[in-house]
Structure 1
């Protein structure tokens, strides 16, 4: 073998050794770590006048990784504070929590743990029941790949009833920064897992989110029958009068108009009641008014409807009815249908 050939073999050996020495060493395993996020709690457009329970949900997502060669055991604790709207209103709004609009009107809401009645609170605060979960974190997949454990949980938001007086607009609160806190504790055995959220010590950061609700204009209307009673069947020129009540609830301060539309579609509030017995074609005329003197017709035009402004409370409107003299009709029950429309 020539000298040049021997040098080539020696050089190859050096290069092979250098390649071997350059392989990365396996670092020591790290302690398990966890993180969490929360989606927005958006109630959307809400009608506070119609009543009923209004709810929405947000989703908590959490992830833990374990780089150890053995399983680890964890307690995860998720704390939610009173929010930015509470802080803007001197703080301390826990039960109920609040959302605020731009004019500092306050909507009462609450956050619950899933489908339960447990309020989602914070360990060190007046509502101390933070949501917590225990997990088994499997050993790592390989020396280069930690195991990953994920999960989710539902926050159920609910708007308190009895708030029809709130004006329309966007109500919101931010639960970012120190308004959320994620803490967890890790143990080498299931029996050593921290027993409650007051005992966990690892800071997992925050899982900030926003809560919002857009109150829309809304009205509800109901009415009692207009009953002229029982009269004798003798034709008469004497007026027969009666009244009834329409009840309107509109969000504050919603402007509204109440229109009365008899079955014949007359825009001036005049129509006739029809006999209910088969073959009876007789009718009894009537008229609708908005004043006790029965001089202002109540119809379905801008010129003769009745207007008002909502307060969030029931507003009662009186309908004054009149049969302008009883015609010569056969004995029967006479009826008509009047549609009450509320525009706003």
Structure 2
């Protein structure tokens, strides 16, 4: 018997895989984005508030806002950036930047419901947008590192302008965020030469904010003058006198106010007494304050409040000084010869 033995031969082939190391000098380019915010963090909507406006400061109240901005470079290359920030007239007459105004909602073109104001840069220039009076804010050239952020700010001055005397009570606003009323423009480059945010098209980025003020009822006594009754003989009776501008007040346009008069003896019905100026003279001359002429004129006392006229005088403010006439009657001059007088306190309730 024949036996055939088959022999298998195995061969091991080894393949040597060598690691491949690729090298490159590629680097992320300059990549910059910028944001801004008024009185708030960049990228957020802000508010500038004048606070309470009265007839005394309606034409000269002022406040400030801080315009913050930041630019972030996410690239691995350092460079430079220039930032421009502009604002037009806001939601009311956005083409007019030299005479912006706050307005009460729903008041249309009623100028009694407007407050004129201006916005200026820290250097005094009118803060504006391109193609209008004034200047947009320009940061100049700022260095920005790789993977870093650069920040800056500008103080904006907000001032009430003239012509606000007729404004009535209420809250006034101008919205610089309801539309394209602001513009952020920036230019970034690895080289500083020739970089200027004011060149080229204006940017489309926004930084919304609202300017607001509240007019509250107010009254100010702006002038007073004496009621001079003159000289009389001892037998004179039913003496009368008046002064058409004895009291001048300035109250908020459309606001009610009530004036009370109080003699030095604190009589609430306006019945006072005048004292002589000569030492040792104990005589007291009675008199009556009145709001209308004649010995039977309406008594002017001091029971008025902020809501009721009482025995005082009621009126409506106009936003401008308004004079009130005071009448005085004296029953008799049968007293020791002397100069007699008294001090009357004026109380304006509103």
**Shorter-chain TM-score range:** 0.7 to 0.9
Check whether the contact 1:184–1:201 (CA below 8 A) recurs between aligned residues. Answer: no
Rounded to whole Å, the distance in 2 between the matches of 1:273 and 1:103 is 54
User: Do residues 284 (structure 1) and 308 (structure 2) align?
Assistant: no
Structure 1 partner of 2:135: 129
CA, structure 1 residues 106+43, in 2 after alignment: closer, same or farther (shift >3 Å)?
same
Check whether the contact 2:79–2:143 (CA below 8 A) recurs between aligned residues. Answer: yes
- Superposed CA deviations along residues 187-234 of structure 1, whole A, max 9, x for unmatched, are 33333222x61x0458471111011111111112232111223x26x5
| Cα offset, 1:180, TM superposition | 0.4
Rounded to whole Å, the distance in 2 between the matches of 1:281 and 1:261 is 22
Check whether the contact 2:257–2:349 (CA below 8 A) recurs between aligned residues. Answer: yes
Rounded to whole Å, the distance in 2 between the matches of 1:228 and 1:159 is 43
CA, structure 1 residues 36+51, in 2 after alignment: closer, same or farther (shift >3 Å)?
closer
CA, structure 1 residues 214+202, in 2 after alignment: closer, same or farther (shift >3 Å)?
closer
| Cα offset, 1:27, TM superposition | 5.8
| Cα offset, 1:68, TM superposition | 5.5
List runs of 5+ in structure 1 lacking aligned partners: 1-13, 141-145
For normalisation by structure 2, the TM-score amounts to 0.80
User: Do residues 236 (structure 1) and 235 (structure 2) align?
Assistant: yes
SS at match of 1:84: coil
Structure 2 partner of 1:10: none
Rounded to whole Å, the distance in 1 between the matches of 2:124 and 2:278 is 56
| Cα offset, 1:171, TM superposition | 0.6
| Cα offset, 1:33, TM superposition | 2.6
Check whether the contact 1:173–1:211 (CA below 8 A) recurs between aligned residues. Answer: yes
Check whether the contact 1:73–1:134 (CA below 8 A) recurs between aligned residues. Answer: no
SS at match of 1:323: strand
CA, structure 1 residues 282+51, in 2 after alignment: closer, same or farther (shift >3 Å)?
farther
For normalisation by structure 1, the TM-score amounts to 0.81
Structure 2 partner of 1:36: 36
| Cα offset, 1:275, TM superposition | 2.3
User: Do residues 108 (structure 1) and 123 (structure 2) align?
Assistant: no
- Superposed CA deviations along residues 34-55 of structure 1, whole A, max 9, x for unmatched, are 2211121111111134556201
Check whether the contact 1:283–1:329 (CA below 8 A) recurs between aligned residues. Answer: no
Equivalences for residues 54-65 of structure 1 within 5 A: 54-65=61-72
Return the structure number with greater helix share. 1
* C-alpha RMSD of matched pairs (Å): 2.7
Check whether the contact 1:185–1:200 (CA below 8 A) recurs between aligned residues. Answer: no
